[in-house]
């Protein structure tokens, strides 16, 4: 079992055992099962890899034991991959699904998005295509601390509600002004700060400058309904920006960007 190091709130280093991932490869082609397996094995993470040669075997595995990640080919005998994803979505806990197909069919892609499949890989691809999926799952498996800074309690509640729909494992705290944001950051630095631009007294721009004085590498996402938010974010050196109103998909794209993760459903 792999051991990882982490710091607690007092700054002390703790060593914790990291449980292996259970990964299912559901693919009728031995060649493609081997290629996906080689991509998994190249990643620096202990994993238990299971294989299924058709959809029925895949459903048996998914019903018998917890699976963290499932690579599922859409064109399998007996039960196709799309039905596998749909049945699991309907009946049980969804693993981190990645579907595999020989075509980038728009209708199939739309269906998989609606079923919450994380990504859609189009053949042919190499073992290196597996790495971004595993990198994202590794981040999703960790807790990401979020600080929402906005003088409006209603706005903070809305953003927090949007965050609950994220694929990432988020721990959310809130601050109503720049001073509270700095105090919160000093107590326990969040991974990402979502900062409203238009606040009284200490506005978003000044709060960002103060945060960067504490940590030049702080990840701040500026939020505003103003049309010039992109330009202001560039001027102030923010890590990213979100134009209000925004939704869970916009937020997930931003978090992917901040952690330098490949966006799903992209070439």
DSSP state of 20: P
- 2-139 and 143-255, same CATH topology: yes
The domain spans of the chain are 2-139, 143-255
pLDDT tens, residue by residue, 113-159: 988 899 999 999 999 999 999 999 999 999 999 999 999 999 999 99
pLDDT tens, residue by residue, 36-58: 999 999 998 999 999 999 999 99
Do 146 and 191 contact (CB within 8 A), yes or no? yes
- Confidence at residue 62, expressed as pLDDT on a 0 to 100 scale: 92
Class of domain 2-139: alpha beta
A 10 A CB-CB count for 98 gives 24
Q: What is the CA radius of gyration of the chain?
A: 21
CATH of domain 143-255: 3.40.50.2300
Of 143, 198, 199, which Cα lies nearest the Cα of 173?
143
- Confidence at residue 95, expressed as pLDDT on a 0 to 100 scale: 85
- Between CA 90 and CA 231 the distance in angstroms is 44
- Confidence at residue 14, expressed as pLDDT on a 0 to 100 scale: 53
Residues of the chain with pLDDT under 50: 1, 5-7, 9-11, 15
- Confidence at residue 116, expressed as pLDDT on a 0 to 100 scale: 87
- Confidence at residue 89, expressed as pLDDT on a 0 to 100 scale: 85
């Amino acid at each position: 079992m792999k051991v990882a190091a982490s710091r607690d709130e007092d700054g002390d280093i703790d060593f914790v055992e990291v449980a292996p991932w259970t990964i299912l490869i559901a693919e009728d082609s031995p060649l493609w099962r081997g290629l996906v397996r080689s991509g998994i094995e190249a990643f620096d993470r202990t994993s238990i890899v299971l294989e299924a040669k058709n959809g029925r075997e895949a459903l048996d595995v998914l019903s018998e034991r917890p699976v963290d990640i499932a690579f599922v080919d859409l064109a399998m005998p007996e039960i196709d991959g799309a039905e596998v994803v749909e049945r699991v979505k309907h009946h049980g806990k969804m693993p981190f699904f990645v579907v595999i197909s020989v075509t980038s069919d728009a209708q199939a892609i739309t269906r998989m998005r609606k079923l919450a499949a994380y990504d859609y890989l189009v053949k042919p691809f190499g073992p290196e295509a597996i790495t971004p999926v595993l990198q994202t799952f590794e981040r999703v498996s960790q807790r990401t601390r979020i600080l929402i800074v906005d003088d409006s309690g209603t706005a903070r509640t809305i953003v927090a509600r949007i965050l609950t729909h994220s694929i990432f494992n988020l721990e959310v705290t809130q601050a109503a002004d720049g001073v509270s944001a700095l105090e919160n950051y000093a107590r326990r630095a969040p991974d990402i700060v979502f900062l409203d631009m238009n606040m009284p007294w200490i506005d978003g721009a000044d709060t960002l400058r103060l945060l960067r004085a504490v940590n030049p590498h702080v990840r701040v996402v500026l939020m505003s309904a103003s049309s010039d938010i992109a330009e202001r974010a560039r001027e102030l050196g923010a890590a990213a920006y979100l134009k209000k109103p925004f939704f869970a998909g916009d937020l997930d794209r931003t978090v992917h960007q901040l952690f330098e993760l490949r966006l799903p459903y992209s070439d």
